[in-house]
Chains A and B, each alone.
Chain A
Amino acid sequence: MPEGYVGGAQPRVDGPLKVSGLAQYAGEFPAEDLAYGVVVSSSVAKGRILRFDLEAARATPGVVAILTHKDRPTVTTDAESHQDQAAPPGLPFIPLLDERIVYSGQPVALVVAETFEAARGAAALVRVEYEAEPAVVDVAQRRDSAYDPPEKRDGVPPPPPPRGDPDGAFAAAPVKVSGDYRIAVEHHNPMEPHASTVFWRGGKLVVHDKVQGVTNTKAFVVNMFGLPEDDVRVLSPFVGGAFGSGLRPQYQLTLAVMAALRLKRSVRVTLTRDQMFTFTYRPDTLQTVALGAGPDGRLQSIRHDAIACTSTYEDYQEAVVNWSGLIYACDNVSLSYRLAKVDTATPGDMRAPGATTGVYALEAAIDELAYAAKVDPLELRLRNYAERDQNDDKPFSSKELRACYERGAEAFGWSRRSPEPRSMREGRDLVGLGVATGCWEAMMQPHSARATLTADGKLEVACATADIGTGTYTILAQIAADALGLPIDDVAVRIGDSSLPMAPVEGGSWAAASAGSAAQMACAALREEILKHARAMENSPLANAALDHVVFSGGRVARADDPARSISYADALKSAGRERIEAKADFAPDEEFQKKFAAYTHSAVFAEVRVDEELGVVRVTRIVSAIAAGKILNQMTARSQILGGVVMGIGMALHEESMPDRRLGRFMNHNFGEYHIPSHADVQDIEVIFVDEADEANPLGIKGLGEIGIVGAAAAVANAVFHATGKRVRDLPITPDKLL
C-alpha cells in the first residue's frame, strides 16, 4: 500500500450495495404505518382553482385524506422562513398554498391512501375546475420586459462591469461575427424520481428525502412547519442522480410532511416521470454573442448578452455571460445578464448551471470567428489564451488548459482536420471535427467531518454530505484510508444524515474539495491522538517521537527512520483504556488564498461527427475530453463523471428538448419515450484525459469535477457539425430537420 489510495483507480465502495439492490433510496424505506400520497397536478398554467369535486376520490376504499389548499396543515408563509441554501431571491413556491395557479403541472392536491394503488386510482378521480388565464412560457415573448434582477442571488456573481471600449473596438475590428444562440429547455430527469418518505415517530419526523443536502432539507422542514430542531432528522444515504434537481427541497417533500403531520403517521410521496417535468429545469436563455478580432484572430472585442427566463415568483440567476470575460484574453468586453418572467416553475441549477449555457454560445461564436479569420479554431484559442482572470484581475491558482489543448489534440488527431467546411468525407457521410473550451469554477465551502477509530482498528468518517452518484463515499474512504494508513476495507463512510457533522448541499463540484479536506483534517487530528496514546505507553518504542517523525501505515504508527519500532492503533487505544477515539474537524476555505487567486477547472473537448447530408442524420463518432481539474482523487469515478458530462453534452447538442405548447403553457413531451436523451447508439467512442495540475487551494490539491465534463461538450459537437456540413445551427438541439 505504499502508493496509497488517493490518485488510484478505486472501484466504488458502495458499488456492491447498489448493484445488489441493498442500497435504499428515498422512496423505498418501509414503515408499518406507511400511507401513500399521490400528487394531482394542475392542467392549466395560470389562473385559479374554482372548486374541487372530491366525492368519487373520497369514496375510493383506502383513501385516508385529500389535502388541498382548503384543507392542509398550516405552514409559515413568509419568504424568510422558506429560504433554502440554494434559493434565489423571491417567495419560494409552496404547494397547496392557495387557489392561485402559477404554472402548469403545479400540485393542487395530495391524495393519501392505505396503498399506493388506492391513492393513484383516487387521484385519477379528483376533478378540479379552474378559471384559466392566458399564460406565457416562451421567454422570447417576454424579451421586451427583461430586467436586471434587483436582488442578486447568493453565490452567483453578477456580470463584471464592462472593460475598455467594446463597442468602439467591435466597430473597428477587421474581422467580426455575431449570432443569437439558444438551447432548448432541459429537464434534469435523474433516473430516480423525486420521492420523500416521512416516518412519523410520536411527533418526531425522520425524513428520507431525495436531495443533495440533508442539512439544508432539515432546516427547510424545521422552518416551514415551525418544528423544534430536535424533532426532525433527514436521511438521504443514496441518491439516484440529481444533476442539481435535488439542491432545493422539492414539493413532494412539503406534501409528504404535511400529510404526516395531518395524519400523525408515516407517509410516502413519489413523483411520476411526467411530474419530473413540473419543477426545476435549465432555464431557456436568449443569448447574443458578438466578437471582433484582428486578421490574426486575436480578440479585440467581446460582447455577450443574455436574457434568461425565470418564474413569476422567484428571480433565479446563474452566471451565464461571465465566462466570456474570463476564458480568453481581451481588453474590451461587455457582458449583460437579464431576466424575463414566464409562467413556469422556477428554473434551477442544472449541471454546470450558467457555464453550460454561456460557454456553449461563446465557444460556438469563437468557432465562427475562426472561420471568419481563416485561423485554425484550436490555434485561435491558443492565440487568445488568458494568462490571468481579467474579470477579477487576479492570477489563476493553476491553469493547465494549454496542456489540455495539446494532449487532447494529439489524442484526437486534430492535425488530420482539413480547414474548409464540407471538405472531409467518408462514403456518403460528411465528416466534421470540432473543438471547444470548457471552464468551471473550483469552489469550496465550509464543511465539517468526524473521524472515529475503534479499538478493533476500524475507522469511520462521517459528515452530512451526499453522494449523488459522483463517488463521494469512495473518495472519502480513499482519503481517510491514506491518512491513517489503513486498508480501505477497514474504513466506513457515513454520509447523508442530518445528525452528522454539517455539510452544505452537494453541488457546484465543491464536495470533494470541501468534504475531502474536512475528512483529512479530522483524520489528521486522529493521528495526533493515536501518537499521543502510543507515546504514553509504558516503554513505548515511540517515546519522544514527534508527529513528523512517524508514519501511519498498516494500522500501526511507526518511527519513520526505524519502522520496526511501532505500535498498533489497537494497542495504543487499549493501553489508554479507550474503546474509541474521535476527532471532529471544521474546514473552511482559505480566504486569503481565494482573495489572491482565481480558481477554475478547464477542459478542451474535441468532437468528430459524421453527417448523412441528404437525411440530416448526425452521429458523434468520437469525443476526446482533456481535463485540468487539480488532483484527481480516483481515476475511475473521475472518468465516470467526465463521461457522464460528455454524454449530457451530446444530448444537449443533438437530442434534449422539452417542448412547450405555447397555448397550454405546458411542456408536452413529458416522458422518456419522447424526451430524448442519448441512447447507447448515440454514444460512441469517448476518451478522457486528465492532465497534471498542481493546485494549492487546499492541502490535497482538489478542484472537483462533477460539472466540468459537460461544459463545452455541446459546442464541440455543434462546431463539428458545422465543419462537416457548413451549416451553423445556433439553436440546440441539432435535430435532423435543421440540417435538411
Chain B
Amino acid sequence: MMNFSYARAESVGEAIAAVSGDPHARYIAGGTNLVDLMKYDVERPGRLVDITRLPLREIAATAGGGIRIGALVPNSDLAYDARVERDYPLLASAILAGASAQLRNAATTGGNLLQRTRCYYFYDVGAPCNKRAPGSGCGAIGGVNRIHAILGASESCIATHPSDMCVALAALEAVVHVAGPGGERTIAFEDFHRLPGDRPEADNTLRHGELITAVELPAPRFGPHHTYLKLRDRLSYAFALVSVAAGLELEGDTIRDARVALGGVAHKPWRVPEAETLLRGQKPSREAFGAAAERLLQGARGQGDNDFKIELARRAVVRALEQAAAATPQRQSDKSIN
C-alpha cells in the first residue's frame, strides 16, 4: 500500500474539482472495495477525496412515480427502506444476497456500481492482467477461470462484474445521474458498464472526475412477480457464479412484459431484449422460459473451468422465471433455494 493524501470534500463541486484536476485522485465512499485494492497495490491513488459527507444520502420520490437514490445511501439502508421493500423488492433482495451485513452497512450505492472485478489475476500484482496493467496479458485466459465470463468477453479480458445490486438495477432499467467538470448528465443503466473489448482497463463509461450523484428507478412494474436468484460456491458470503434478476408483468396468466438480467456471466449485467420479447404474450411454462434462456445465452462461450456456467445459467434463468411467475421470490434469509 502506497502513501496517499486524503481530503474530505464539503460539497459536490469541491469534490469534482479536486478529483478532475488530478489524474491520480479517486473518490472514496464506503471504501470497502477501494481500500482492499489499495492494500493489494492494485490501486495506487495519490490522493483520496472522501465524499461521505456530501448530501447524497436521500431516497426521494420522483415525479414519474419512481425513486431517486442518493449515491451515498448505504446498501443496507437501501435494502431495508420501507418504500424499496414494498415497491422494489427485487432490488432489496439483490442487495441482501451480496457481501455481509457489515460490508453492506459501509458500502454505498455509487460505490457498488463501481466495484471492480474479482478476477484473481486482477487482484494479484504478481500475475499478468490487462485490466490492471494494460498490455501485460490476460492471466485468466488459459488459467484459473472458474468465475469468469461466458458472454461478451474479449481476447484481452474475460472478467465479470461482480455486483449483485447492479443485476437488479439492470432489470429495473435504472438511470445513473452523474456530475462532472462539464456539468451533469444521465446514463441509461445498460450504457453504464461496458464490455472489455480491447480496453479492459475501463469498466464503465464514466469519465475521470465524474461523480455519481444518484441512481433513479422508474415506477415499479412487477408487483410480486420478481426474484433474485444467486448461485455461488457456498451458501452465503460469496460472489455469484451465476445470478438472475427477473421481473414479470402478468395479465391473468399471460406474460405482458419481462425483464431478465444475468450476473456473474459478463463484464456487465447481461440483458438481451430479444429474450424478453420472446416471453411477451406467453403463458408461464418451462418451455417458454427455456427458450428465453437459450436466447439470453446465445453465443455463450466457456473458457475451460467455467464451461459449466452456460448450463448453470440456463437452468438458473428457468428457475428464476418460475419463481417470478409463481410470485415466490427467492428468500435471502435462510439461503435455501425455492
- Spell out A's residues near B (CB within 8 Å): 41-43, 104-105, 117, 120-121, 124-125, 272, 274, 427-428, 610, 612, 614-617, 619, 654-655, 659-661, 663-664, 666, 668-671, 673-674, 676, 678-682, 735-737, 740
Contact = CB atoms under 8 A, between A and B. Distances in A.
Nearest to B333: A681
B239 to A, nearest CB: 7
Contact of B120 (A614, A668, A681, A682): A668
B302 to A, nearest CB: 11
Given A43-B127, A668-B144, A661 B235 contact: no
A659 B123 CA distance: 14
A124 B41 contact: yes
A42 B126 CA distance: 8
B190 to A, nearest CB: 27
B338 A428 contact: yes
A428 B338 CA distance: 8
Interface stretch (B151-159, B208-216, B312-320): B312-320
Contacts of A610: 336
B124 A737 contact: no
11 contacts: A42-B126, A117-B3, A120-B1, A121-B2, A124-B2, A272-B39, A659-B146, A664-B139, A674-B147, A681-B236, A740-B308
B234 A676 contact: yes
B2 A615 contact: no
A612 B126 CA distance: 38
Contact of B319 (A272, A614, A682): A614
B27 interface: no
Contact of B316 (A615, A660, A671, A674): A615
A538 B8 CA distance: 80
B329 to A, nearest CB: 15
A659 B146 CA distance: 10
A663 B233 contact: no
B336 to A, nearest CB: 7
Given A617-B231, A676-B238, A736-B312, A668 B142 contact: no
B253 interface: no
A655 B121 CA distance: 20
A442 to B, nearest CB: 33
Contacts of A43: 125-127
- Which residue among A105, A660, A736, A740 has the maximum number of chain B CB atoms within 10 Å of its CB? A736
A669 B312 contact: no
A459 B238 CA distance: 49
Contacts of B120: 659, 668-670, 674
A615 B238 contact: no
B16 to A, nearest CB: 28
Interface in B293-338: 308-309, 311-312, 315-316, 319, 334-338
Chain B interface helix/strand/loop/mixed = loop
Contacts of A660: 144
Interface string B95-139: 000000000000000000000001011011111000000000001
How many of chain B's residues touch chain A, expressed as a range? Answer: 35 or more
A681 B311 CA distance: 25
Given A615-B319, A668-B127, A679 B3 contact: no
Contacts of A735: 233
A427 B309 CA distance: 25
B122 to A, nearest CB: 11
Contacts of B241: 736
Contacts of A428: 337-338
Contact of B121 (A117, A614, A668): A668
Contacts of A679: 234-238
B143 A661 contact: yes
A669 B144 contact: yes
Kindly list the 8 A-B residue pairs having the minimum CB-CB distance in the complex, ordered from nearest.
A43-B126, A737-B308, A681-B236, A668-B120, A681-B235, A681-B335, A679-B236, A679-B237
A227 to B, nearest CB: 34
A37 to B, nearest CB: 15
Nearest to B120: A668
B143 A668 contact: yes
A612 B147 CA distance: 21
A673 B335 CA distance: 18
Contacts of B2: 121, 124-125
B124 A670 contact: yes
A367 to B, nearest CB: 24
Interface of B: 1-3, 39-41, 44, 118, 120-121, 123-127, 139, 142-144, 146-147, 231, 233-239, 241, 308-309, 311-312, 315-316, 319, 334-338
- Which residue among B235, B315, B316 has the maximum number of chain A CB atoms within 10 Å of its CB? B235
Given A661-B127, A668-B144, A655 B234 contact: yes
B215 to A, nearest CB: 25
A614 B124 CA distance: 34
Contacts of B239: 673
Contacts of B335: 619, 681
Contact of A673 (B118, B319, B337, B338): B118
- Which residue among A272, A674, A740 has the maximum number of chain B CB atoms within 10 Å of its CB? A674
A660 to B, nearest CB: 8
Contacts of A125: 2
Contacts of B234: 654-655, 676, 678-679, 681-682
Contacts of A427: 338
Nearest to B315: A614
B312 A737 contact: yes
Contacts of A736: 231, 233, 241, 308, 312
Nearest to B232: A736
A638 to B, nearest CB: 27
Contacts of B142: 663
A663 B139 CA distance: 9
A731 to B, nearest CB: 14
A40 B319 CA distance: 47
Given A104-B126, A121-B3, A661-B139, 5 more contacts: A615-B315, A664-B143, A670-B120, A736-B233, A737-B309
A507 to B, nearest CB: 28
B265 to A, nearest CB: 14
A674 B120 CA distance: 8
A661 B146 CA distance: 12
Contacts of A41: 126
Contacts of A614: 315, 319
Contact of B235 (A105, A619, A666, A669): A619
A683 to B, nearest CB: 9
B98 to A, nearest CB: 12
A120 B40 CA distance: 10
A663 B143 contact: yes
Nearest to B308: A737
A425 to B, nearest CB: 14
Nearest to B231: A615
Nearest to B40: A274
Contacts of A673: 118, 239
A671 B338 CA distance: 31
A682 B235 CA distance: 6
B144 A659 contact: yes
Contacts of A668: 120-121, 124, 127, 143-144
- Which residue among B1, B144, B311, B338 has the maximum number of chain A CB atoms within 10 Å of its CB? B144
A214 B234 CA distance: 37
Nearest to A44: B126
B143 A117 contact: no
B38 to A, nearest CB: 10
A654 B233 CA distance: 8
Contacts of B315: 614-615, 740
Contacts of B40: 274
